[in-house]
A and B are shown apart, each in its own frame.
Chain A
Amino acid sequence: MSNLADVLVIADQLQGDLQPIALELLGAARGLAEKLGVKVQALVMGHELGDIPQRLIWNGADEVFVVDQPELKEYTTLTYRRATISVLEGMSRPPHIVLCGATTIGRDLAPRIAAYFETGLTADCTELDIGEYEHKGKADPSKVGTFHNCLYAIRPSFGESLKARIIGPWKNPQMATARTGAMVPCGEDTTRTGKITVIPVKFEDSDFRVKVIETVRDVSKAVDLTGARVIVSGGFGLASAEGFRLVEDLASVFKKSAVGASRKAVDAGWIPYAHQVGQTGKTVRPALYIALGISGAIQHRVGITHSDVILAVNKDESAPIFQFANYGIVGDLFEIAPLLKENFKKAFPASKEV
C-alpha cells in the first residue's frame, strides 16, 4: 500500500435509488486508485438507504461511509453540505481525491465543499487520470516544483476545439465532477467485500434554511438521454419550438429513444435545459444519434463522440457536423425528417425479439 490517502466518490442516490453516475464514478475511481496503490472510498447520504452501501462495495468501493438520517431524505444543499463536511473532517486522513457527479446535485454540492476546504475543483470532466506535473511558473513562485500522483482532470475547454488538463496538487483533496456517461462502471461483483461505516451527523438550525415545497419527477417523462439507445436531437435549424414536434415524431419510431437538443435550441427557449446534449449538457452513448439542423459546434461534438452511429441532416453541406457524422443528408430537414420516419419503418421492420 502506498502512503497516499484514498480516492473518495460521493455517490448520488435519489429516494433510495442508486444513480448510474455513482457506478460510473466508482469505475473511474478504481482506475485512479489502482494507479496510486490506494483504496476506493464512497460516501452515500440519504434516508432508508437499504442495500445501497452493499451495492457500492459490489461496484468497486473498498470502504463505504454512510450517513442515513431522516433529515437527508431529500437532497438540500445545506444538509448534504453539513454531512459531507462532517464525514471528511472526521476522517483520520482526508482523501487525496474526491469525485462527484456533474449532476444537478453534484454541481450544487461540490463547489460548496471545495470552497469550504479552499481546495481546487474541476468541473464536468470527460477523462480522469494520474500523472506528474512540473510547475515552472515564474508568475507564482509559491507553486514551483515537481509533483507526483496528481489528479489529471481533463475537460473540453470553452467552446474551443481544445482539451485542457487541469492540475491542482498544492491542496488536498483534489476535486472533480464528472459528466454522466463519460466514465465507465467496473461492473457488479457480488463476491467483493469491504467495510461499511455508519456515521452520525449533528445538524445545526441554519442547515434547514431552505425548504423543499414539492418535487415533481415524472419518470415516464424524464429525459433519459444517458440511458437512451436512440437519440434524435434538434438544433437551431428547427427555427422554432414547434420544430421539436418533428424531432419527437421521428423519435417515436425507435425503442428506448429520447429527444435531445443543441445548446442554441435550448438558449432560444424552444426546449427545456434538461434536453441539452453537449459540453454543458450530457455526454451520451446511444447506438444511433440523429442530429436535425445542428451545425455541430465543438461542445456538441464532445457530447456525442461516443455514439455508435451518427446521422446528420443539415441544409448546409459545409456544416462542421458532417466532419464527424457517419452519414449525412444535405437538405431541408422539414422534408427529410418525415421521410426518415417513413423509411426507417419500411426498411427495418421491428425485430421480433422482445
Chain B
Amino acid sequence: MSDGYRIVVLIKQVPDTSSKAGVNPDGTIDRARAKRMLNTFDKYALQKALEVKAAHGGEVLAISMGPPPALEILVEACEYGADKGYLLTDRRLAASDTLSTAYALHKAVQYLGRVDLVFTGLQTTDGDTAQTGPQIAERLDLPQITYCERLEIVDGKARVRRVVEGGYQWLETPLPALITVANSATKLQHKRFGGVYAVKELQRHKERMDQTVFIVDLDKVGADSNKAGLVGSPTVVGKTWKMGEIGGSCVMFLGDSPKHNVEHLMARLKEDNRHIEELIQ
C-alpha cells in the first residue's frame, strides 16, 4: 500500500489504583479526586500501533471515550507518536456498560472512514471485562484476535501470536481486523519531545493541538443516543457491598532471625496439623 496503513487505537483514562489519592477509607474510589492514568493495556496497544506505522508507514489515530479530562491521554498518545486524537465525550454516555460503550466506540471508528487495523488493550484496569474490543469487532463485522502478545504484518496480513492456556497460537488475519493486546515485548518509547528543545518543541506542539486532538459527540459520529449510555445498556449495577473482612488472625513470625523465624513457622505448621508432608515431593 503506497500510503501505508490507517491504524486506530482505542484508549481509556482510568483511575490510578496504585496511588492512594482519591481512595476512600472503605476502599471505594472517588473518581473526582483519584489520580488518572492511561490504562496499562492501552499502552501496549499504542506501542503495537506505532510499531506497525514505523515499519510500514501510515497514520495512527487514537480514540477515547470519556469525560473532558480524558483529553490528557489523547495528548499523551500524540506525544508518543500518534498523529491525531479524538475524544468522544457526551453527557448521554454516562453509565454505559460494555455493550453500549462498544456501540458508541464503533460509531467513532466508522466516523474516521477507512481503517485497516484497530488496536485495543486486552482490558481496562477499572472495568476488567475484556469485552469491549470483541464487541466493537462484532459491530464492525471485523475478524478479531484477542490476547495478542506479538504481531507482524506480512504481505498485507497481520500475523499475531495469541496467548492460550498452556502456550500460544500463531494466527493470520486479513485486514481490516481488530486486535486486543495483552502484553508487549517492547515498552513505549520515549516521548517525541525529549532533549534540550523539549520545552519549545512541546509548546509548538500544544499550539498545533487544535489540529491534532478533536472533540466529538454522539451526533457528530452519527450514533443513535438510544443505543448509548445508560439507556442503551442492558445491564446495570444492582448493588455493591464491601467484601467481608477475612483473616485478622495471621500468625506472624517477625521477631527473630530469618533462620529462626522459618524454623518456628515449620513447628507451628506441624502443631496446627496442616498436613504439609502430603504436599512434599
Whether A and B are associated in the same complex: the answer reads: yes
Binding site for B on A (CB under 8 A): 14, 76-78, 103-104, 107-108, 110-112, 114-116, 118-124, 133, 135, 137, 139-140, 142-143, 150, 152, 156-168, 170-171, 209-219, 221-224, 229-230, 252-256, 266-267, 269, 272-274, 279-280, 287-288, 297-298, 301-302, 305, 308-309, 311-312, 317, 322-332, 335-336, 339-340, 343-351, 353
CB distance from A163 to the nearest CB of B (A): 6
Contact size class for B?
35 or more
Knowing A305-B246, A323-B248, A329-B254, the reply to whether A108 touches B281 (Cβ < 8 A) is no
Taking a contact as CB atoms under 8 Å apart, the answer to whether B236 and A112 are in contact is no
CB distance from A216 to the nearest CB of B (A): 5
Pairs A–B under 8 Å by Cβ, sample size 24: A111-B130, A112-B134, A112-B144, A115-B138, A133-B238, A140-B230, A159-B125, A160-B29, A168-B235, A212-B169, A213-B170, A215-B168, A266-B183, A269-B187, A272-B149, A272-B183, A287-B279, A288-B274, A298-B27, A308-B274, A324-B246, A330-B252, A344-B266, A348-B269
The answer to the question of B55 belonging to the interface, with a C-beta cut-off of 8 Å to chain A, is no
**CA gap between A170 and B28 in the complex, in Å:** 28
CB distance from B260 to the nearest CB of A (A): 10
Besides the known contacts A107-B131, A336-B262, A348-B269, 11 further A-B residue pairs in the complex with CB atoms under 8 A apart: A104-B165, A115-B134, A120-B99, A161-B27, A166-B235, A253-B280, A288-B276, A323-B250, A327-B265, A329-B261, A331-B254
CB neighbours (8 Å) of A161 from chain B are 26-27, 242-243
Taking a contact as CB atoms under 8 Å apart, the answer to whether B261 and A331 are in contact is yes
CB neighbours (8 Å) of A343 from chain B are 262-263, 265-266
Knowing A217-B164, A325-B250, the reply to whether A168 touches B280 (Cβ < 8 A) is no
Taking a contact as CB atoms under 8 Å apart, the answer to whether A162 and B278 are in contact is no
Interface of A is mostly: mixed
The 3 closest A-B pairs by CB, nearest first: A222-B166, A161-B27, A120-B234
Taking a contact as CB atoms under 8 Å apart, the answer to whether A166 and B159 are in contact is no
A267, A297, A325: the one contacting B40 at CB < 8 Å is A267
CB distance from B33 to the nearest CB of A (A): 14
**CA gap between A325 and B183 in the complex, in Å:** 30
CB neighbours (8 Å) of B145 from chain A are 77, 210
